[in-house]
Amino acid sequence: MFPAVFCQDDEEEEEGELVSDHMKDSEEPSNKRVKPVANDVLASSFPRRRNSQCWSDTVESHDLTAKEIKRQEVIYELTQGERQLIEDLSLVKKVYYEPMLKLDIMTESELGQIFGTLDSLIPLHEDLLSRLERLKGSEKTVGEVGPTLMNWFPCLEAYVTYCCNQVGAKALLDQKKQEKRVEHFLRLCQESSFSRKLDLWNFLDLPRSRLVKYPLLLKEIQKCTPPDHPDEDTLPDALELIQSIVAEVNKKTGEAECQFYRRGLTYLEESQRAPEIQQSRFLYCHGELKNNKGQRLHVFLFELAMVLTRPGEGREGAQVFQVYRQPLPNALLNLEEIPDGEAGGGSTFRGAFTGGNDKVKNCFRVSSRGRPKAHSHSLQANDSFSKQQWITCLRQAIVQSRDRTAQTSQSQLSPHSDPALYHMAELSLSSDTEMADHTSR
C-alpha cells in the first residue's frame, strides 16, 4: 500500500488516450482493433483486456467529417463501456456471490458486507444503456447526447453508499482470503477464462473506476462537438454536474475511510488518544514506512494528526493498528527532506536500511515543534515516487492545519480587541504560506 491513493486519481489519465472500460492494462488505444482470442487458449493465458472495436467498424459507410467521426467514436465508447460494466457486474453476481452463498464459503452477512449495494447498480446502468441506444439514428449515429446525460447523472448519487462501503469491504475480503476455502475458490475463479485474470476485488472496484471516467468521456465529446451543435449548450452543464457528483462521492468516501481507520487504532496509553485524531474528517494518505530501527510501520496522515502504528491482528483476524509513540499534531509538524546518501539518524539509520553498504535513499524526517527529541522520526519510503507522495501530502497537511489554527485564533478575537492582535494573527498565517505552492494534490 502506498500513500495518496484517492478516487480522483483515476481522473489523471490523459484525456486523449481514453480506452474502453476495464482495459486499463492494455497499451492499445480504443481506436485500434484487438484480435479475438481463440476458444482453446489456456485459461492461465487468457488476456485481461476485452475484444474491442470502434464505431467505424460497425457501419458500412458514412459521410462524416473527421471531427464528427471522433465524436461518434467517443459516444460509442461511452455506450460500450456501459454494456461491458453491466456484463461484468452481472457476472460477479452469478459466479462469485451466488456460488459462495450456496456453497457456504462465506456467510450471507459477510457477502453482504463485501458486495455492498453492487446489485442495485446494475439497473442504473441498464437504464443509461437503454437511453443511449434509443438515441441512435438510422446510420448508427448519435445526435444530441447532453440532455440524456443531464437527466441520468443524478442516479449516480447511489455511488455514495457503494463507495463508502468499499473500505470495510476490502479489509474484510483480505481477511477472508486467509481462509483456505475462500482462497481456493477465488483462485479457481481468477484462473478461469471468464475472469480475464482479474481477481474479485478488481471486479468490485469497476463501478468506482467507471464513475471517475465519465468526466473524461464528456470532455472528449465536448472537444469534438462543433459550436453550432445542440449539445454545445448542455454538455458544459452535464460536465459540471458529473464533476460535482464525483467530488461528493470522493468526499463521503474519504470521510468513511477516515472513520474506518480511526476505529482500527488501538492505544497502549490513554495519552495517545490525541483529540486531533477524533476531530479529523479525512485521510491525506497512509501506507508503510520504515523507521531508523528497521521497523516497518503503517503511518496514517489524518487531516489533523500524523499517527505511526504497528499493524497487527485483532479478534477474528481483523487487522488493527497499534499506535506507536505519541501522535503528532499536523499544526506542530516540522518536515525535513533527507537527501539520498545522508545517514539521517546516525549509523543505526544507515545499517537498518542498507546493511551498512549502500547509500540511504528515499528518507525524510518529521518532528513536533516544542516537543522532546523523542518526538522526531526518520522514515524511509519504498521508492522515490512514494517518498514524493508523502512529502507532498505532509506539506499540504502542515499548511492547511496551521492556516486553520490561525483562522480559528483570529475568529476568536472580538471586534473590540486591540487591532495589533489582528496583525499578529495575520503574521502567523502568512509565515506558513511560503509552502502553499505544494498544496495541490
pTM as predicted: 0.73
Mean pLDDT of the chain, nearest integer: 79
Which range among 25-29, 184-188, 234-238 shows the weakest confidence by mean pLDDT? 25-29
Assigned fold of 63-264? Dbl Homology Domain; Chain A (1.20.900)
* Region 215-226 average pLDDT: 93
pLDDT band at 45 (very low <50, low <70, confident <90, very high): very low
Is residue 341 pLDDT above 50, yes or no?
yes
- Of 330, 302, 340, 343, whose CA–CA distance to 401 is shortest? 330
Three-state SS for 53?
A: coil
Per-residue model confidence (pLDDT) at position 383 = 92
Residue 33 has pLDDT above 90, yes or no: no
Taking only the tens place, the pLDDT of each residue in 358-412 is 578 999 999 988 766 557 899 999 999 999 999 999 999 999 998 887 777 666 6
Say yes or no to pLDDT of 339 above 70.
yes
Q: Greater confidence, 129 or 353?
A: 129
Class of domain 268-342+358-407: mainly beta
Mean per-residue pLDDT, 58-78 = 80
C-alpha triplet 149, 152, 154: angle, nearest 5°? 115
> Is it the case that residue 237 has pLDDT exceeding 60?
yes
Higher pLDDT, 400 or 57: 400
**392 contacts: CB under 8 Å, gap ≥ 6:** 4, 438, 441
- What are the φ/ψ torsions at residue 168 (nearest 5 degrees)? -65, -35
Pairing type for strands 305-313 and 296-302 reads: antiparallel
Side-chain half-sphere of 399: how many Cα atoms within 13 Å?
17
- Give span(s): CATH 1.20.900.10, the chain: 63-264
Instruction: Copy the grid coordinates of residue 248.
Output: 461528493
Span 156-162, mean pLDDT? 96
Q: 3-17, 284-298, 312-326, 354-368: which has the minimum mean pLDDT?
A: 3-17
Calculate what percentage of the chain has a pLDDT beyond 90.
57
Instruction: Look at residue 429 and tell me whether its pLDDT is greater than 60.
Output: no
Comparison of pLDDT for 12 and 322, the residue scoring more: 322
Mean pLDDT of 426-430: 32
185-194, 232-241, 402-411, range with the lowest pLDDT: 402-411
Supply the pLDDT for residue 120: 95
In sequence order, the 6+-apart residues with CB closer than 8 A to the CB of 343 are: 349, 350, 360
* pLDDT (mean) for 80-97: 94
CA distances from 275 to 13, 102, 333 (A): 38, 46, 16
Where exactly does CATH 2.30.29.30 map onto the chain?
268-342+358-407
